[in-house]
Amino acid sequence: MLEFIYSIAGFVVALGILVAVHEFGHFWVARKLGIKVLKFSVGFGKAIWSRTSSDGTVYAVGALPLGGYVKMLDENEGDVAEEDLPRAFNRQPLWKRSLVVLAGPMFNFFFAIAAYSLVFAGGVEGLTPVVGKVVENSVAEADGFRSGDVLLSVDGRKLNTWQEQRLYLFSKALARKTVHYDVITSDGQHISRALNLANVPMSDIDANLVAGGIGLIGWYPSVPPVIDQVINGKPAQMSGLQQGDLITSIDGEEVISWNDVVRLISASPGKPLQLAVSRQGYSQTVSVTPDMAMDGNKEIGRIGISVKPVDVPEDRIVDIRYGPVESLYRGTETTWMMSVLTLRMLAKMVTLEVSSKNISGPITIAQYAGKSAQVGFTSFLLFLAIVSVSLGVLNLLPIPILDGGHLLYYSIEAVTRRPVSEKVMIWGQQLGILLLFLLMSLAVYNDLGRLLN
């Protein structure tokens, strides 16, 4: 329940902030260019708070926290008094209208830059870039990566933490490129390794790219296979496993870490397993049949146990902090990379190369909002930055009714020297609404799928 409240609250706050930023962009530039703004509202619907400034602009907070709008003086939307005509939006030259429209998405990007820079300046914690495990038969294994490799840099970009390579690998994998690592192997040799990302199947390019698609798993302290929680009604509980049991072997295969347990149980959905456990010093054998569960489109086994996480040793944690200029540079770079990545992913989805399952909707976003807000201010800020970039990119798509659609009309106007006809606008609007509904339905549909599995 608390989770749910966090999600809703996080979602409303996040959307409120980002929409306000976006609309403020339109608002601020419009005012600077001398256009008369009638209303600036965050949230739709009935105003729960409103205030009229001395120059007649109404500032409001709407009851429905799912968007917002800026209403400018415009002859297409109502009568305009003679003396106000020069300040009406539709009477402005093309460049002014374009700037006003462009300002919304741009402010979303500015926000992301500011958020990332702030996080970089405040310090980021991460794990040392050491390979913990290389997945069998993976792209990384084929290219020679081994557990214990210390990754110094990728394509000349110094790696301070394991996490730093993620975004870069993502964009290179989408571009089907090969990247070059400087590596110190576990026996101390300093060598260069090429990782051919073109071998990563397109279908594996998703949030789990590095571990799942490439096969590189970062070093993490080994977790002893001691059961911490047994979920009621699941196979483990029904066959009598208890909290504190140390699993020593599964079907005769010796088990050293929790990872072994996960691997063996996952591989046996519906197939009975003999678990040897040590309970308060006495060993005994328990037969458990894992339930079948779906992981993507793979069937995996689960028995309903969990483990207590272990602390990461101090010397494996890196805390990096940048100066203001470097932070700003990195913040801008990250925002740029995220934007390009978002666009590339969208393009690959349109050409059906990447699964449209990667589209998330409001439910997933709300879940992330809740989770990141619970973790702390920094993670919530990072979350806001990501959503802000998405909003900016999405709004720039040339879909009528979005900012990008207006810009599309304006560019046609720039060529033909006259505004797009009303008929085209109406058709465009229909098409735009259909596309948006399609996108929304798909997103919510994916969300539900995630929720159910």
Given the complex with other proteins, which of 48 and 64 has the nearer CB atom? Answer: 64
The C-alpha atoms of residue 178 and residue 310 are separated, in whole angstroms, by: 35
**Would you call 42 exposed, middle or buried from its count of C-beta atoms within 10 A (0-12, 13-18, 19+)?**
buried
The CA angle 214-206-131, to the nearest 5 degrees, is: 30
CB of residue 96 vs other proteins: minimum separation in angstroms? 32
CB 171 within 8 A of CB 187: no
Provide the pairing of β-strand 282-288 with 157-158: unpaired
Given the complex with other proteins, which of 320 and 433 has the nearer CB atom? Answer: 433
Structure tokens at 259: 């990872």
CB of residue 450 vs other proteins: minimum separation in angstroms? 10
Given the complex with other proteins, which of 292 and 375 has the nearer CB atom? Answer: 292
CB of residue 445 vs other proteins: minimum separation in angstroms? 6
Q: Please list the active-site residues.
A: 23
Provide the pairing of β-strand 150-154 with 131-134: unpaired
Tell me the DSSP string of 394-408.
Answer: HHHSS-TTSHHHHHH
CB of residue 438 vs other proteins: minimum separation in angstroms? 4
The residues that touch other proteins, with contacts defined as CB under 8 A, are 294, 356, 433-434, 437-438, 440-442, 445, 448-449, 451-452
Q: At what angle do helices 324-350 and 94-122 cross, to 10 degrees?
A: 120
Given the complex with other proteins, which of 414 and 438 has the nearer CB atom? Answer: 438
**Would you call 402 exposed, middle or buried from its count of C-beta atoms within 10 A (0-12, 13-18, 19+)?**
buried
Structure tokens at 366: 């709300």
CB of residue 266 vs other proteins: minimum separation in angstroms? 19
The C-alpha atoms of residue 66 and residue 46 are separated, in whole angstroms, by: 13
Given the complex with other proteins, which of 310 and 434 has the nearer CB atom? Answer: 434
